[in-house]
Structure 1
Amino acid sequence: MGIFRRHRIRYLLLACGTTAVVLWIALNIEITNETNMIEDKQTNLQQGKYGSKSQDWKNKYQQRIPTIPSQSGEQHIPTFPPIKSQDDVCQPKQQILFLKTHKTGSSTVTSILQVYGYWRNLTFAVPKSGAQILSRSFFRAGQVHPGKYDMLVNHARYNRDEMEKVMKPGAKYITILRDVTTQIESNFGYFGLYYSFGLKNSSNPFKTFAENPSYYWTTYKRASFRRYMKNPNLFDLGLSEKDQENITAVERLITKISQEFDLVLIQEYFNESLLLLKKLMCWKLEDILYLSKGKRSSRIRFVVEQRTILSIRRWSWADVLLYDHFNKTLWKKIEEYGPSFNADLAEFESKLNETLYNCTLPNARIYDNRRETALRKNPKGSPKCDDMLRNDLHFTKMLRRIQYGENIDGTKLPNKTSPKKS
């Protein structure tokens, strides 16, 4: 109660006699009880008695902390910053360059970005022909049609100066990494390097390679895709082959990437990473929904023993440093996301299940050299389901046709097709 209100009550007491005195005593008891209740509640809040929901969230959140080993052996325990104001509203950003690495879940990220841009009439830097920009050398602006674009999402080796020539101002730069052991095993199988390295008759070709990787690296220098068998992530990010064993050059490049990239996703925490992308771009959960395109065939998968893991980590130690650095960075960004992270993640994964149910039928068996299953379109699915099921290579060719009036085979169309309207 305010001080002026108390003075008025005292003046009334003087005028009203004994009855008023009784009322005054009761009123003071009520005020005292109310004050004690407030003090007790403040004490309980400090002791966590009214914070059970927050504490439960924190416990669940800490259960998601990764246990991936780092060279230091340290485990990162997140802290929990205060909730940001709801008045802190941002506008969606639509300019983004995705440095697409190999066998890291990058095709799924590319599909997310292609669907987002296609439905909003955004422009894409696409190769002049074919479905890939990638070459063994660094990206050059001349590899795409002249102009300034909203998005670049195809495979290309990182070259900041040349990429800025084709990107609109203010573009966000992102990429994705994967634990190097599983990534190199995936590269080895997917690109058929067991053939290139003369190991097709080995009982476990990848184990044989991992026992002496330097032998195959130096003996088969002309093998296709050989460059993705040692530090593949750093190669895509600009590390030259001559600097593969140069610790100074490696650390310098990791620092450069930290400074020049707005977000580095981690494949092992894919959905968590996509939530950070949503926050970075100020998008909605619907904007980052995706459909996985299928499972790699068991015919090109290999058993990876602990001894093999250790051998590959020693062989590609530079990518181990890169991964450990940005894995820690990922979890720092999750801390900064705020206490709603786990709830948002649960909602996102629920929407992913709904999307899978609404857009597809159960997996169908297919027969090719690389995948065991493929998603089939649900006939009742929306037109957007068609685009989410479209693979990134076909999407790239379609985008070039829309932007430049070309058929899939590169020949000119009579009239330029208009982009899809949002």
Structure 2
Amino acid sequence: MMTGDQQECGPPVTRVSFVKTYKTASTTISSILIRYGINNNLSFVLPSHHEQGWFSRTVRFNSKMQKKLLPPLPGSNYSILASHVPFNKTAIEEVIPNATHITILRHPVFAYESIFGFFKIARNFKIKKQSRQNEFQTFLLNSDKYLKRVKDPFYKTLLRNRQIFDVGLDLKDYDNETIVDYVIDRASKEFDLVMIAEYFDESLILLKNVMCWELEDILYMQQNKRVDHLRYKINDWERQRILELNEADVKLYQHFNETFWRKVEAYGSKFSKDLATFQSKLEKMHTECIDDGKYTTDYRGRRNTTLLKDGAPAYCSNIHDNSFSSLASRQTLNISNPIL
């Protein structure tokens, strides 16, 4: 693993667990991992019961989940976990020993606004526009009232501090500053890389470095992009209210934003050159592959899906078409006797 200019990588890392977080560009990261795994004939940790690759939105990965996995490819062991499931390092490493653990965070203000829009919180909570307020403003002005009504555990976590929940903080400890600090410190030890969504390309250069991969391995097309009518503008008061609701997420983000830039510094002077080379490759791919004038809206009207140009080179499809549903058919043999 490289830590500076003069050191070279060893063999590519093939054992990795990626903790997906909500509305942080995590679907784009998982699509990169899926592509790498398929191209290198690696086996994924997948639930046998859900075609979208979810284990649970609120229960941490555990031994019961291990007993209900699609088996790995014949003659192989599990290599990659890139599904939605809250983090539990001990249980994950029982399935993928000595895994490299990674995740991605986004500034809590922007992640929260995106969650509110994408998951249609206004409709689900029956929040109506007021005369001078949109639904998001109405919610934030009355958030205590609305949050008291929440019964579904997924929405309980989604509407406060969801990022640190996925990393390891339990709902009951959201307001315990000592435990929040402990979880952040533990995450610093457990994760090999925490990426930052606002610096996505820079994050991928660090990912390439940690994984000893090539620049071509981290090329991407943006996935799961929210439609415009589910977006809200945020004023200064709303920003402050979001920060208050997500104090633990703010602490988490600030901590790992600092560690992120220390990793960039440790990478050395070659970082800027690698980033420029990567972005040049991205621009070339975009020009050759993506039809900017076309897209489809799917996922129940919430997501715009990028379309490829007619006659685009074959490699474009390899980058574009990477979903969990494409993985299940690879690992459906011997379901009654999974190899752990």
- Amino acid across the alignment from 1:119: N
- Which residue is equivalent to 1:384? 315
- Which residue is equivalent to 1:160? 89
Tell me, in whole angstroms, the C-alpha distance in 1 between the residues paired with 2:233 and 2:112.
13
- Which residue is equivalent to 2:99? 171
Cα distance, 1:288 vs. partner? Answer: 0.3
Distance 1:89 1:241, change over 3 A: closer
* Alpha-carbon displacement from aligned partner over 1:143-166 (angstroms, at most 9, x marks no partner): 423564110001011111211121
Cα distance, 1:306 vs. partner? Answer: 0.9
Tell me, in whole angstroms, the C-alpha distance in 2 between the residues paired with 1:83 and 1:115.
27
Counterparts of 1:347-362 in structure 2, within 5 Å, are 347-362=277-292
Check conservation: 1:100, 1:176, Cα contact below 8 A. yes
- Which residue is equivalent to 1:85? 6
Check conservation: 1:196, 1:224, Cα contact below 8 A. no
* Alpha-carbon displacement from aligned partner over 1:214-259 (angstroms, at most 9, x marks no partner): 2211122338634211001011122111101000110000011000
Check conservation: 1:177, 1:264, Cα contact below 8 A. yes
Q: Which has the higher strand share?
A: 2
Task: Identify the range of structure 1 (395-404 vs 322-331) with the bigger mean alpha-carbon deviation.
Answer: 395-404
- Which residue is equivalent to 2:189? 259
Tell me, in whole angstroms, the C-alpha distance in 2 between the residues paired with 1:143 and 1:266.
32
- Which residue is equivalent to 1:136? 58
- Which residue is equivalent to 1:343? 273
What TM-score comes out, normalization by structure 1 length? 0.72
- Matched length: 320
Tell me, in whole angstroms, the C-alpha distance in 1 between the residues paired with 2:314 and 2:69.
29
What SS is found at the alignment partner of 1:225? helix
Tell me, in whole angstroms, the C-alpha distance in 2 between the residues paired with 1:96 and 1:397.
20
Check conservation: 1:139, 1:156, Cα contact below 8 A. yes
Counterparts of 1:10-409 in structure 2, within 5 Å, are 84-85=5-6, 88-130=8-50, 131=52, 132-140=54-62, 141-145=66-70, 148-167=77-96, 169-202=97-130, 203-222=133-152, 225-293=155-223, 295-367=225-297, 369-371=301-303, 373-391=304-322, 395-405=323-333
Cα distance, 1:142 vs. partner? Answer: 2.9
Distance 1:175 1:367, change over 3 A: closer
Tell me, in whole angstroms, the C-alpha distance in 2 between the residues paired with 1:299 and 1:329.
35
Distance 1:298 1:279, change over 3 A: same
- Amino acid across the alignment from 2:67: G
Tell me, in whole angstroms, the C-alpha distance in 1 between the residues paired with 2:317 and 2:196.
27
Check conservation: 2:19, 2:84, Cα contact below 8 A. yes
Which structure ranks higher in relative contact order (CA pairs < 8 Å, sequence separation ≥ 6)? Answer: 2
What SS is found at the alignment partner of 1:98? strand
* Alpha-carbon displacement from aligned partner over 1:125-153 (angstroms, at most 9, x marks no partner): 11112211224211122342356411000
Tell me, in whole angstroms, the C-alpha distance in 2 between the residues paired with 1:348 and 1:255.
32
- Amino acid across the alignment from 2:149: T
Tell me, in whole angstroms, the C-alpha distance in 2 between the residues paired with 1:379 and 1:343.
33
Tell me, in whole angstroms, the C-alpha distance in 2 between the residues paired with 1:224 and 1:336.
38
Check conservation: 1:193, 1:226, Cα contact below 8 A. no
From the CA coordinates, give the structure whose radius of gyration is larger: 1
Distance 1:405 1:362, change over 3 A: farther
Check conservation: 2:100, 2:191, Cα contact below 8 A. yes
Tell me, in whole angstroms, the C-alpha distance in 2 between the residues paired with 1:399 and 1:84.
37
Check conservation: 1:204, 1:303, Cα contact below 8 A. no
Distance 1:209 1:238, change over 3 A: same
Tell me, in whole angstroms, the C-alpha distance in 1 between the residues paired with 2:268 and 2:42.
31
Considering only aligned residues, what root-mean-square deviation do their CA atoms show, in Å? Answer: 2.1
Tell me, in whole angstroms, the C-alpha distance in 2 between the residues paired with 1:268 and 1:323.
11
What TM-score comes out, normalization by structure 2 length? 0.88
Tell me, in whole angstroms, the C-alpha distance in 1 between the residues paired with 2:35 and 2:281.
17
* Alpha-carbon displacement from aligned partner over 1:297-348 (angstroms, at most 9, x marks no partner): 1211111111101111111111000000000000000000101111111111
